[in-house]
Structure 1
Amino acid sequence: MGRLTAGRAPALRRIAVLAGHNVLLRRRDPAHFVSYLVMPMVLMLIFKSMLGEPAQAVTGLLVMFSVLSMADVATATLTERTWHTWDRLRATRATVTEMVIGKALPVFAVLVVQQSVLLVYGVLAVGLRPAGPVWPLALAVTVWSFTLLCAGTAVAGVVRSQGELSTLCNLAALSVSALGGALVPYAMMPGWAQAVAPLSPGYWATTMLQAAVRGDAAGTAGPAAVLAGLGLAAGAFACRRLGKGWSRAAVA
């Protein structure tokens, strides 16, 4: 047991150093975080007046702008490729898993804070009234943040430039939100859109968050399991791709 603990200590220290470095990078460039808080706050008030449904306005825009935040997740790894520092990190004692975790933890915290602030704002300013215990909402925010984190890291191993990343994330935010029922209630969508909606992670995220707002634990757990599975698959792909060194073919 003592040897096992001693073996984990260096790994934890390496993860802590990487996480601290990425916290510093996030603090130096908070523009996206601020804009992805202010814009949905304004739009929530507009959508509430249009739809007359606070839960739809809050959860839908939360999903849309959290998907946009996936660009920040991917940037955390893509910048290492652009700066040609990823190979330097791989030359250290840190494993690929440690590097991914060290870079992911600060971004995960940003995603959780973003969604938590928007939910609190929804309660205070938009009229959102959660029912039941708080833990379904906490579960929904944690799982959705985890899914976005893994998906963003996987995207970082595929795209080759910031331009590709911005285009992909913008398209993903619109398509995931629209097809997932984040912008209009699912019941109001055309038949073909309802048929393909379950293919969108946004559908499961919106369904999960709305169930959590209602205090429906079972309705929260089902979509959460689907999103957790998607996140694990994306995370495994990201670690495999980055571990093979395929990310070295970054933009010069």
Structure 2
Amino acid sequence: MSRDSLHRIAVLVRHNVLLRRRDPAHLVSYLVMPMVLMLVFKSMLGRPAQVVTGMLVMFSVLSMADVATAVLTERVWHTWDRIRATRARVPELIIGKTLPVFAILAVQQIVLLGYGILAVGMRPAGPLWPLGLAVAAWCFALLGVGTALAAVVRSQGELSTLCNVGALSVSALGGALVPFALMPSWARAIAPFSPGYWATTMLQAAVRGDVSGTAGPAAVLIALGAAAGAFAWRRLSRGWGRSSVR
């Protein structure tokens, strides 16, 4: 990657960091709400690791709206063509817009994991680096899928609907809300088709210190994020939907 390319990415990152700093409401709400629910579910389930990882998965999927908004806003404001008219290429635009959101997702998950250890009673076994791998893989998957959504939806209303329905569906089918063993047989059969299943399995394995149990789901989520990111790059590079957003 050339120096000019890195400079363009850095400019885009600074601009999008400023936009995120001006509107921190989503980050605050998606930190406070899971913290409250963790305490409620802890008294109901009595399984700290299940409670912490489940709430983390559900609210990080809700946070995916912030990922998509980083690109969708430019389309809604009709400024995407102006950005495309600069020397910045589509991969640089995507990287510059998603890096700040990746950092926000990582901060959200690290804070919730720390809260789960201090307030909910979750006790990781073994080294902490599997948790770092799990957080990075899940953030990458959310980043790819969120960017792909931004290349498909036509309004903030569509995006909010997809993210809200998706968060509940992914969490419920992935075993984030109740232990996998307690789910009905039909739900267990289709659970592997939900990214939430792999995220919950990965995070719970990381809490147990199970390196191999963390690496397998992490590879699945990284592949999902890469495929979704490639789809987004193809759609955005072709200028899809420039004039259809209202």
CA contact (8 A) 1:82 1:250 kept: no
Partner of 1:29: 23
Letter in 2 for 1:54: P
Note if 1:139 corresponds to 2:122: no
TM-score by length of 2: 0.99
Shift of 1:167: 0.3
Partner of 1:234: 228
Shift of 1:213: 0.2
Letter in 2 for 1:204: W
Shift of 1:226: 0.5
CA contact (8 A) 1:160 1:250 kept: yes
- Of the candidates 155, 170, 184, which is equivalent to residue 161 of structure 1? 155
- Of the candidates 180, 185, 188, which is equivalent to residue 182 of structure 2? 188
Letter in 2 for 1:115: Q
Q: Secondary structure at the match of 1:145?
A: helix
- Of the candidates 63, 71, 76, which is equivalent to residue 82 of structure 1? 76
Q: How many residue pairs align between the two structures?
A: 246
User: CA-to-partner distance for each residue in 1:207-229, whole Å, 9 max, x for gaps?
Assistant: 00000000000000000000011
| C-alpha RMSD of the superposition | 0.7
Distance 2:15 2:241 in 1: 20
Q: Which runs of 5+ in 1 are unaligned?
A: 1-6
Distance 2:234 2:243 in 1: 15
Shift of 1:249: 3.3
Q: Which runs of 5+ in 2 are unaligned?
A: none
Partner of 1:197: 191
Distance 1:190 1:84 in 2: 46
Distance 1:247 1:101 in 2: 20
Letter in 2 for 1:209: L
Structure 1 vs Structure 2: percent identity of aligned residues?
Answer: 77
- Of the candidates 116, 121, 127, which is equivalent to residue 122 of structure 1? 116
Distance 1:215 1:143 in 2: 16
Distance 1:104 1:219 in 2: 28
Distance 1:87 1:128 in 2: 48
Distance 2:131 2:162 in 1: 28
Letter in 2 for 1:17: V
Letter in 1 for 2:167: A
User: CA-to-partner distance for each residue in 1:68-101, whole Å, 9 max, x for gaps?
Assistant: 0000100000000001110001000000000000
Shift of 1:251: 2.0
Shift of 1:250: 3.8
Distance 1:235 1:158 in 2: 12
CA contact (8 A) 1:161 1:250 kept: no
Distance 2:94 2:244 in 1: 17
